[in-house]
Amino acid sequence: MDKALLEIRELECVRGDKQLFKGLSFSLGAGSLLHVHGPNGSGKTTLLRAIAGLVLQESGEICWNGEQISRQKDEFNRELLYLGHHYGLKFELTGYENLKVFANLSGSDISEHEVEAALMRFGLAHCVELPVKVLSQGQKRRVALARLLLQPSKLWILDEPFVALDAAAVELLLDVIKAHVAAGGMVILTTHQEVAVEVGSLQHLHLGQAQPAQTSQAAVAEQH
């Protein structure tokens, strides 16, 4: 791993009265994948949202290219693609319209053809013109994931991306993630699925392994 692009220093996050983690530090360079593990309620989603800049941390720093993300929101957001628990789709719009809106807002000028190709890759060729609300859970997730192919973001933050997907789609998503890492991208994800990348480095982060009452060193990062 060469230069670290994303650096987390002494991060502490609190939800309500509960301290989720404290003193969390790690760094991520180009071409690497971070797999965040932890039981329910251990703060996986909060960590991911904090890195995306949606949740404000209690203390600590999140740096992109050596500068805090809060000071360079637009630059960081251009490099970021965050897919959370919600699909982030408008159910009244078609899959095509949904993708087009986000591509336009991200400033990338993509053609109709590219959007259709992305949907097709995720096996949605026959539902390009259907409103998202008539699609099944798995298909909705596929539409949301098709954004991965359309936006040239460096850092992907994926919160449980494999939920509701069938075996074929899981395989496909794994391929897409591997290709992204191999091309020098970075992925942070939470899942109970085993994810292996041959190219680039794979890191594991375990949240909430210490007892909840203990505050220090709740997180252990190990490098493979």
> By the criterion CB under 8 A, which residues form the site for another protein?
52-56, 74-75, 77-78, 80, 82, 84-93, 97, 101-102, 104-107, 131
Q: Whole-angstrom Cα distance, residue 86 to residue 48?
A: 14
DSSP designation for 164: T
Q: Whole-angstrom Cα distance, residue 20 to residue 212?
A: 8
Using DSSP, state whether 168 is helix, strand or coil: helix
For another protein, give the closer residue by CB, 68 or 214: 68
Amino acid sitting at position 24: L
The distance of closest approach from Cβ of residue 169 to another protein in the complex, given in angstroms and rounded to an integer, is 20
- 74: tokens are 């637009």
For another protein, give the closer residue by CB, 68 or 104: 104
Work out the number of other CB atoms within 10 angstroms of the CB of residue 59. Answer: 12
The distance of closest approach from Cβ of residue 50 to another protein in the complex, given in angstroms and rounded to an integer, is 10
The distance of closest approach from Cβ of residue 201 to another protein in the complex, given in angstroms and rounded to an integer, is 26
The distance of closest approach from Cβ of residue 75 to another protein in the complex, given in angstroms and rounded to an integer, is 8
Q: Whole-angstrom Cα distance, residue 35 to residue 182?
A: 16
The distance of closest approach from Cβ of residue 137 to another protein in the complex, given in angstroms and rounded to an integer, is 14
For another protein, give the closer residue by CB, 56 or 182: 56
Closest CA to 184 of 204, 155, 151: 155
Closest CA to 47 of 58, 65, 88: 58
Using DSSP, state whether 211 is helix, strand or coil: coil
For another protein, give the closer residue by CB, 86 or 192: 86
For another protein, give the closer residue by CB, 65 or 77: 77
The distance of closest approach from Cβ of residue 147 to another protein in the complex, given in angstroms and rounded to an integer, is 9
Q: Whole-angstrom Cα distance, residue 118 to residue 109?
A: 15
Give me the half-sphere count of Cα atoms (radius 13 Å) on the Cβ side of residue 173.
27
